[in-house]
């Protein structure tokens, strides 16, 4: 498993990930560099629910980091962050 503790994931969250998303674990490992870079980016720009992205919308994290940044760059950051704080599922629609 990749080290998600650096991104403030707790042991309990890591256990839940392994328990509830076993099929996704392989993809996370295959795309681990993208996953780490994208989670770090989401955290750095202020997406407060970045952990939920891994649990609920992991496909978003498999894409290249540059593509994710380009998607975020199309919007004004503060309003986007407010919307994502209310409804993290909007991240799939970027």
* Tens digit of each residue's pLDDT (9 = 90 or more) over 1-46: 678 888 999 999 989 988 888 888 888 989 999 999 999 999 999 9
Q: Which domain holds residue 53?
A: 10-93
In a domain, residue 3? The reply is: no
Q: What is the pLDDT of residues 60-82, one digit of tens each?
A: 999 999 999 999 999 999 999 99
In a domain, residue 54? The reply is: yes
For 75, residues 6+ apart whose C-beta sits below 8 A from its C-beta are: 94
- Number of domains the chain is built from: 1
In a domain, residue 75? The reply is: yes
Closest CA to 44 of 33, 55, 36: 36
| pLDDT score of 1 | 60
What's the residue count for the chain? 94
């Amino acid at each position: 498993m990749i080290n998600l503790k650096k991104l403030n994931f707790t042991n309990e969250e890591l256990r839940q990930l392994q328990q509830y998303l076993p099929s996704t674990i392989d993809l996370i490992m295959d795309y681990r560099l993208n996953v780490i870079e994208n989670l770090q980016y989401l955290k750095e720009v202020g997406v407060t629910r970045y952990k939920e992205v891994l649990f609920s919308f992991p496909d978003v994290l498999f894409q290249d980091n540059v593509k994710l940044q380009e998607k975020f760059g199309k919007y004004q950051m503060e309003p986007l962050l407010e919307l994502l704080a209310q409804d993290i599922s909007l991240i799939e629609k970027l």
